[in-house]
Amino acid sequence: MRDEARRNGKPIPARLPASMPLFHVPSGLTRILDRDLAVSGIPKRDERNRVVDVHALRVTFCSQLCAAGVPLRTAQAAMRHSKPELTAKIYTDPKLLDVAGAIEALPALALSPKNDAPMVAAVGASR
């Protein structure tokens, strides 16, 4: 869809059509997934008592989009959600995100003794 729009010199659609599948889901996928989980020794429920099912794949997909730095609005469109809160709060699993890595990626704050007084005052702290 994106490539076709580019070839035709048209704007890239902001939303996927509801009729366009994100991926093909075979009719027996639940049965196949349950069998594969059993053979692999992966429990049907995780440590938070959540069921590992086809729907859980959507949580993983959305969480991976977030971890890859995909903007929320883009992830919302990929997930076909009507509201960003659904994408951010329900389908993004914070346990799958690298929060520590995100904090470490922030630039260091360079404060000198003579320059930190205005900053302290700006945040409302007293000396």
Question: Structure pTM?
Answer: 0.55
Distance CA 90, CA 112 (A): 42
Count of all residues that appear for the chain in the document: 127
| Mean confidence (pLDDT) of the chain | 82
Distance CA 62, CA 60 (A): 6
pLDDT per residue over 70-95, tens digit each? 999 999 999 999 999 999 999 998 88
How far is residue 24 from each of residues 20, 103, 104, measured CA to CA in Å?
10, 37, 38
